[in-house]
Amino acid sequence: MTTALGPRRPVSLTVNGRAQNLEVSPRRTLAEALREDLGLTGTKVGCNRAECGSCTVVLDGRAVFSCSVLAVEAAGRVVETVEGLAGPDGLHPLQAAFIEHDAVQCGICIPGMLMSLKALLDETLAIGEDDVRQAVGGNLCRCGTYPNTVKAALAAARALRERAGAEAR
């Protein structure tokens, strides 16, 4: 019945801390694998050609457009999606700050925004407005929440710095 599909290949990867073993077509994108094979529909697909950023996930610590990474390319690698952002202690500071600063309207771009910023904050907490703008420069939000995105990201960085400071003491 199926057409134009090559033989499926086994792909093992880590998603949100859990090992996953998939059998995927070689042309399946990481976004499709996450959404359709693993049911992780938090990752959205708004253009399917690396233009809108709504499919952004973190792959081995870097923010990538998952619509433009093949699932087979993710073999053996570590993927983080919006579903893995909250921890056992509750929301990630980015999530809490997005709520508090109302950086969410229709919400469709938010998973991508959050993952772009997660990659930034994992790299450094010493960020300013320009770093935030650069980090989400590839995430389109047609509701125009950007001013609140900036406020929220800076607040989250502040919260994480304070947490790190408290732990250091």
Partner 1 sequence: MSPAGPPPRGRLLVHGDTPPPLGRELSVIGRSLDRRDALDKVTGAAMYSSDMTLPGLLHAKILRSPHAHARIVRIDTSRAAALPGVHAVLSLENTRGWHTYWYMIAQPAFPEELAYAGQEVALVAAETVDIALEALGLIEVEYEVLPAALTPREAMAPDAPRVPVLDVERPREGNVQQPVYVRARGDVARGLAEADLVSESRFSLPTQYHVDIQTRCCIADWDGRRLTVYEASQGVWNVKRELAKSLGLEEEQVRVVVQNMGGGFGSKAGAQRVVHYAARLAMLAGRPVRLELTRPEEFLSHPRRYAGEVTMRLGARRDGTLTAIDAEIVLDIGSGSLYAGRYSMTLHQISELYRCPNVRVRIVAVYTNTTPTGPQRGVLDPIATFSTEAAIDDLAARLGLDPLAVRMTNYAADFQGLDDTTPALPYTSKHLDACLAAVAEAIGWSERDRPRAPARGAVRRGVGLAAYCIERGGYAPFSAKADVVARPDGSVEVQAGVVEIGAGQITVLPMIAAEELGLPADRIRIHHGDTDGTHYAPSSHASRITSEVGPAVLQAASLVRRRLCELVADRLEVSPLDLVAVDERIHVRGAPERGVTFTEACALMTEPEIRATGSRAPNPDDVIFRLFGAHGAEVEVDVETGEVRVLRIVCSHDIGRPINPKLVESQQYGGAVMGLGYGLYEEAELDGKSGVLLTPDVHQYRVPTALETPIIEARNVEREDAFYPYSAKPVGEAPLVGVMPAVRNAIRHALGIGIDQLPITPARILEALAARKASADAG
| Listed ranges 7-15, 72-80, 119-127, 138-146: which one lies at the site for partner 1 (CB under 8 A) | 138-146
| Contacts of partner 1 in 6-65 (CB under 8 A) | 35, 40-49, 51-52, 54
CA dist 120 and 94 (Å) reads 11
For residue 117, give both structure tokens.
């910023």
157 binds partner 1 (CB under 8 A): no
Pairing state of beta strands 18-24 and 9-15? antiparallel
Fill in the DSSP letter of residue 78: E
89 binds partner 1 (CB under 8 A): no
118 binds partner 1 (CB under 8 A): no
Residue with Cβ nearer partner 1 (69 or 94): 94
Interface contacts to partner 1, rule CB under 8 A: 1-5, 35, 40-49, 51-52, 54, 81-83, 85-86, 91, 94-95, 98-100, 102, 104-111, 114, 132-134, 136-150
